[in-house]
Structure 1
Amino acid sequence: MQPASSAIDRSQYPKHIAIIMDGNGRWAKKRHLPRVMGHPAGVKAVKRVVEFCAQEEIQVLTLFAFSSENWRRPKEEVAKLMDLFMSTMQKEVNRLDKNNIRLRFIGDRTEFSDKLQQKMVDSERQTENNTGLTLVIAANYGSHRDMTLAVQNIARKVQEGTLVPDDIDETLIASGLSISDLPEPDLFIRTGGEQRISNFLLWQLAYTELYFTSKLWPDFNAATMQEAIDDFLTRERRFGRTSEQVQKLSKGT
């Protein structure tokens, strides 16, 4: 039986939570609404989860808002998503700033409108000195592209003669990826019943604990976040060690 959340040592909570927010369209269809109506409901869930993470002193929350593959969706839905993206930033950035939340974006911005790109830059600048929760929004993001760009940058340095192949190691590759300055995710959550990573933070998720739930994203709230964290707290994170080694380390022996 899990201990009551109030009795849990929050020092053991995940420092970085990454979420694929899946199920907006199905949530709307279950209510006999157009698919696009699920996205505003999903924004409300984002607000609830951001508030929860800020209150629980989670260091980083990364949300997969729009993948590089999502451009394949119906044009009307993509257009609605872009409008919602812009209007949400316009409404919420001041609130994030007031609550000491730092906002960052990862992904290829060049396919967004100039107005949206500028709003992203302005939002990051406005909140860059905040010291509470770091909220990372992955927009037009794909992990394969992220890794490809990192490798291309390394190849240029080798070509220029500032690097030799033997200099290339995991640390160097990781340093060229998005959010390399942030802790890697401890907990990955995917809503909506699918059990895939979907080209999201593939390098960074190597030792992340995975949590899948059938709950649709618009229904996600503080209670369901706590359920995911409670499940995380039951996991033994060995990072290649044996259970006995982990237990000795935890006891300081």
Structure 2
Amino acid sequence: MVKLGNDEVVLLQAEDVVYRSGSKGVFDASSHNGPLTLTNERIVYTYSVGLLKKTEETIEIDLGDIKVFEGVLQLKPTVRKEKVGYVSLVAYLNNKEYEFDFLQKDKKKMLSFANEANKAATGVSDYWTIEDIGGKSISKTLRGAIGTAAPVISDLADAAKPLAPIAGAVIGSKAKVATGASGILGAVVSAAINKNDEATSAAPQEVALIAEHEEVQAPDSSMTLDEQIEAVQKLKDLCDAGILTDEEFLAKKKQIMGL
């Protein structure tokens, strides 16, 4: 339980967050697991210690004690190569650092923690993006194409050509383009599926790719193992960018690999 002060409200909470403390980039070997709470004034982390008789320990970090650099709160999202399956949120204070590790599947929530804390402390909204932790913002690329659609669509269509051999297996033969939110993606995929180099006539209207639910088909026997791996990697990029859900990614991965 987090006891709130006057005018204090809870902004976000997360379970199963791993905590370590350190200094100058060197963190303790010991770690703890517990819930993390963000309010408009502080970060509160609670964990249990002891084997037989457990007691609760609480760490509180005032947002005002976290460094600010060039108008940005130094509560920074990051990815550490040695921590496979996790993304980290590091709070930099004057003489101490706190690291909170989130499971990879919770990376969007971790970004929300960083952005909400930054907004509460500095007033700056949505500063951190998926690109700051190694992801790709496909929607940003697509939005940038509006207004100069013809040349950009042509370039994206060329980039999407490697998807053409797997379009039938990944999207399904009944895939269609409908009115929706991610405009240029539909034109790009259509160009890739049809192997059409002339994508410049596509209008920059808002469209989204919608695949109808079908029974899982056998993988394309013409695809080599390397092509299957490359296809799965491209799907993972779409998943990381929020275009596909985790469930959709796993289903299509099994379909491609014939699992």
TM-score, scaled to structure 2? 0.24
Query: Which protein has the bigger strand share?
Result: 2
Bigger relative contact order (CA 8 A; separation at least 6): 1
Query: Which protein has the bigger helix share?
Result: 1
TM-score, scaled to structure 1? 0.24
